[in-house]
A = this chain, B = another copy of it.
Amino acid sequence: MTDTTTLSVEELTQIVTRIFSQNGLSALQAEAVAAVIVAGERDACKSHGIYRIEGCLQTVRAGKVAPQAEPELIDDGSALLRVDAKGAFSPAAFAIGAPVLAQRAKDQGIAALAINSCTHFSALWPEVEALTGMGLAALAMCPSYSTVAPAGGTQPLLGTNPLAFGWPRPDHPPYVFDFATSVAARGEIELHRRAGKPIPEGWAIGPDGTPTTDPEDALAGAMLTFGGHKGSAISTMIELLAGAMIGDLTSPEALDYLGTTSLSPHHGELVIAFSPEKFAAGRGGDPFSRAELLFSAILGQGARLPSQRRFSARETSLRSGIRLSAAEMAMLNEFLAAA
């Protein structure tokens, strides 16, 4: 426990940005990717923290991302914006599109950002949080690659297809959720396998299509959606809206394209932004303070808001820095030296 290093968010950001710059990422991509990875580490989301650096670099080395691509904004003045990522990492495409999306939502009430042809590895909460910081509510979704069976099915087809939502809260971190539409993450099944433990019932089916609690079987078979047929329907909606509709790869197509689930998938993403101020205009009552009544009622009966643990870890990190183990520091130094 004494063998740890404490870095400020800024210090860690500089290190991670340097790693990506030295590995061939453009300044925009290096900064945008480093920002989401450090945000994960800062919020004690270890699975989206510096652990992700290696996967990103592998994807670069495999030639499955375009590290120097400059994402291009396509804007015809309508409520629909597009960023063609041209193979870049998605956070760089979002960075280009987000300010325009925010302004368009304020003007139009609602606006959408379709990100196309990106390489995607990050959580969606940094994006919806960024939009809440501009006073907007936001919904984000994307496919991934086929590892989940549709309800009643027997084979992997859908992705873990995350859905994220954010709502701005004055004087509080935003209301934010971001979850996979599978019951569990693939990584959780992998952890059970390594620990030699059975997985809970309802997480997965084996290659023969029947329910299994054996992690090996589950990894060779398919995961299940959360909430049975309802989660399956939502996951299918995500394939349609953030795949077929935006002219980008669905999860089965993304798996075909990449040929493996071990690199970051290439596909698109859909972000919808809402201006609560414009939606509520003329109706009387402030939408943000009315939302606080709902949050108070949730908290008042002992329930939690999503992301509370993450926000409290963030507070600690911002106050006291991010503590990394000796192994983590060694990993960072190795990435710096290897480049």
Q: Taking beta carbons and an 8 Å cutoff, which residues of A are in contact with B?
A: 74, 78-80, 107-112, 114, 116, 137, 139, 149-155, 157, 163, 165, 167, 175, 177, 179, 226-234, 236-237, 239-241, 243-248, 250, 252, 272, 274, 276, 278-285, 287-288, 290-291, 293-294, 297-298, 301-304, 306
4 further interface pairs, Cβ-Cβ under 8 Å (given A110-B111, A227-B231, A252-B297): A78-B79, A150-B298, A226-B230, A227-B228
* Whole-angstrom CA separation of A301 from B232 in the bound complex: 14
Using CB atoms, name the residue of chain B closest to A304: B152
A86 to chain B, nearest CB (A): 13
CA of A173 to CA of B234, assembled, Å: 18
Considering the chains assembled together, what is the distance between the CA atoms of A232 and B80 in angstroms?
A: 29
Contact B227 A227 (CB under 8 A): yes
Complex contact B247–A283 (CB within 8 A): yes
A–B complex contacts, Cβ < 8 Å, 27 sampled: A78-B109, A78-B278, A110-B112, A110-B272, A137-B241, A149-B303, A150-B301, A152-B302, A152-B304, A157-B294, A157-B297, A163-B234, A165-B233, A175-B236, A177-B230, A179-B233, A226-B228, A233-B306, A236-B294, A244-B287, A244-B288, A245-B274, A246-B279, A247-B284, A247-B285, A250-B293, A272-B272
